Each structure stands twice: as C-alpha cells, then as structure tokens.
Amino acid sequence: MSENIWNALLGIMPVIGAVLTYFIVPYMRANIDSAKLQQYKEWASLAVKAAELLWKETGRGEDKKAYVTGFLNRMFNSRTTVITREQIDILIESAVKQMEDLSPKTAFGQEDQIP
C-alpha cells in the first residue's frame, strides 16, 4: 500500500510544480513589479518637489526636468539599466501632474498665495 502512495505522490509532484510555475510565479512577479513601480513613482515625486524648491522662478522647466532626469537615472541606472529614459519621462510627467492637481487654484487659474 505504501508503494502505491509513493507512486501517486511521485506522479502528482510534476503537476504541482507546473501549477506553481504557471500561476504563482507570475502572480508574485506582478506584485514585486507593482511594488517597484510604486517606489519609482515615490522617488520621482520627491525629485520633482526638490527641483521645484531649487528653482522657484518660472521658465526653468528644462533645468528642473534635467535635474530630475539625472537624479532618477543615477539612482536607478547606476549599475545596469533598470528603467529607460522614456519611462523616466513618464514618471516625471505623472509626478508633475499629480503635484499640479494637489496645488490650490483660484477661479482665474492662479495659485493662492499663503500670507
């Protein structure tokens, strides 16, 4: 009887391995990738805020973007390319849009001045 159980276990093991490989590994990879993406978004947001603090005057958008792009590139691509230039640009645009959405606006589109 125990030999039959052993043979059944040996027959089931490849099926269990296939199920793990097909369902669980991609699920875990997706969760890890979404966690990394969230981390990239947070760093991009912090870098955009830092650039806004460094260059308060208007018309310095190119300098701000170059600063943030360089920072994110050094941060994530110092050894190997983790995120591409296009992905960095998208993260920056997303962070700027989020910051603009959170800033208070008046009816005329001007930011409220806090005394």
- The secondary structure of 14-52 as a DSSP string is HHHHHHIIIIIHHHHHHHHHHHHHHHHHHHHHHHHHHHH
**Mind listing the pLDDT tens digit for each residue in 24-55?**
767 766 666 888 888 889 999 999 999 988 88
For residue 32, what pLDDT is reported? 62
> Does residue 110 lie within any of the structural domains?
no
For residue 108, what pLDDT is reported? 45
pTM: 0.62
Q: Which residue range(s) make up the domain with 46?
A: 31-102
**Mind listing the pLDDT tens digit for each residue in 64-113?**
999 999 999 998 888 888 888 888 898 899 898 888 888 765 444 455 44
- What does the alpha-carbon distance between residue 21 and residue 108 come to, in Å, rounded to a whole number? 57
For residue 67, what pLDDT is reported? 92
> Helices 61-76 & 85-102, crossing angle to 10 degrees?
120
> Does residue 113 lie within any of the structural domains?
no
Looking at the 3D structure of the chain, how many domains does it have?
Answer: 1
- Length in residues, the chain: 115
Cα dihedral 98, 103, 105, 111 sign: negative
> Does residue 74 lie within any of the structural domains?
yes
> Does residue 13 lie within any of the structural domains?
no
7 to each of 17, 49, 87, how far by Cα in Å?
A: 16, 62, 51
> Does residue 3 lie within any of the structural domains?
no
- What does the alpha-carbon distance between residue 77 and residue 67 come to, in Å, rounded to a whole number? 15
| Better-predicted residue by pLDDT, 64 or 19 | 64
